[in-house]
Amino acid sequence: MSANERRLVMRRALEACTLGEVESLPDLFTEDVNGWSPNLLVTSREELAEVVADREDAISDVDLEINALDVFGNKGFAEYRLSGTFSGPFALSEDTVVEPNGHELLLGAAMVAEFKGTRSRRSGTASTTPR
């Protein structure tokens, strides 16, 4: 797989996860994908799909802006900004739900991915504090 093809997969993976496109995940992530961010840990594509589906209702009017994206060998790096309206409940855990307030969210983040063949098998995201 070429670096350009991996860049495209990484871009689509960011779009699918931030825009709630669960149906795209099998084309972008391995079945045993490991992913993390400040408030989640997934160890399978099934778990990732659940998280993506749950978040779809929490933020509406989502806009994704990818500022930088590059691939070196089997690793990819992206810097992006996500904005949207906090319009639905956001479950941090089974016991903790943050109720929506209708405010605009702006989140700056960076993502690192490791590829296995044509899909991402590891992915991590670090983000700044939303405003």
Output helix, strand, coil percentages for the chain, rounded to the nearest 5.
Answer: 25, 50, 25
Say what the pLDDT of residue 92 is: 74
* Neighbouring-strand partners of residue 72: 75
Domain ranges of the chain: 3-127
Radius of gyration of the chain (CA): 14
Give the span between the Cα atoms of 32 and 35, in whole angstroms: 10
Tokens of 61: 């009017």
In tens digits, the chain (131 residues) has pLDDT values of: 788 999 999 999 999 988 889 999 999 999 999 988 877 789 999 999 988 887 767 888 999 999 999 999 999 999 999 899 999 988 777 888 889 999 998 988 999 999 998 899 987 777 665 55
Fold of the domain spanning 3-127: Nuclear Transport Factor 2; Chain: A, (3.10.450)
Residues 6+ apart with CB under 8 A from 18: 62, 64, 82
Say what the pLDDT of residue 45 is: 95
